[in-house]
Amino acid sequence: MTTLFDIAGVQARIFNLPNRPPFMIAVDLAEVYGTVTKALNQAVSRNAVRFPEDFMFTLTEDEIDALRSQSVTAKAISMKVRYEPKVFTHAGAYAISAVLKTDTAAQVSVVVHRAFAAMEQQVIADMQFTLRKVHIEASQRRIRYLVIQGTQANMPFDQIRLLGSYSGPKLAQALRECLHLGLIDQLPPGTPDAIQADLFANG
């Protein structure tokens, strides 16, 4: 039997909630594995030792409400978790294949694993992007602060540059931003003629 679900189809059934790992609802997982929820739950119950808390957990009422609120199919979500609030993490969803006795279990487990892995990789990529953005913004704030303070104190260009160990072009870019934002109204003394020409030429 060929599974009807590809990686994207499984990913559409993976949910995220604050302080919880990504998970799949038992009803969805049973459908993906080509069985019914009752059979899935029976298989899990018979093999409870294989499903510790980091493999399977029970949603709280608040989490169920949060899940409904984030879904465009809130009514469907409500029906899925009303009587079956147990959900499965990546490890738990993958472990299902070992306890189900269906022809498609081995095949589907690969799709399930890849769907979770792709989502987790995207989460990591998003976090890395956010961290880089925060780092860049912090760096920009610091150099702008030095430019403002240095200019107000009438520090020469090279002294401001050395305070932050910045290159000439980087400090020139900060000067351009500060001028554009109206944070300074003059260049520090000793700003190289080439940089002055470039700054005023590009506004």
CA distance 57 to 39: 18
Does 2 have pLDDT greater than 50? no
Per the CB < 8 A criterion, the answer to whether 89 and 23 are in contact is: yes
> Domain residue spans in the chain?
7-126, 129-201
Cβ contacts of 19 within 8 Å, gap of 6 or more: none
Q: What is the pLDDT of residue 57?
A: 93
Is residue 147 within 8 Å of residue 154, measured between CB atoms? no
25: number of CA atoms within 13 Å, CB side?
22
DSSP state letter for 72 = T
Q: How far is CA 182 from CA 126, 175, 186, in A?
A: 33, 10, 10
The structure tokens listed for 143 are: 């150099």
pLDDT one-digit tens code per residue, 157-172: 989 888 888 888 888 8
Q: How confident is the model at residue 55 (pLDDT cuts 50, 70, 90)?
A: very high
Question: Considering Cα of 57, then 62, then 64, then 66, what sign does the dihedral take?
Answer: negative
Residue range 124-151: average pLDDT?
84
Selection from 141, 146, 140 nearest residue 160 by Cα: 146
State pLDDT tens for residues 73-94.
Answer: 555 565 666 666 889 999 999 9
**pLDDT band per the 50, 70, 90 thresholds, residue 203:** low
Q: Which residues contact 115 (CB under 8 A, 6 or more apart)?
A: 7, 8, 10, 11, 14
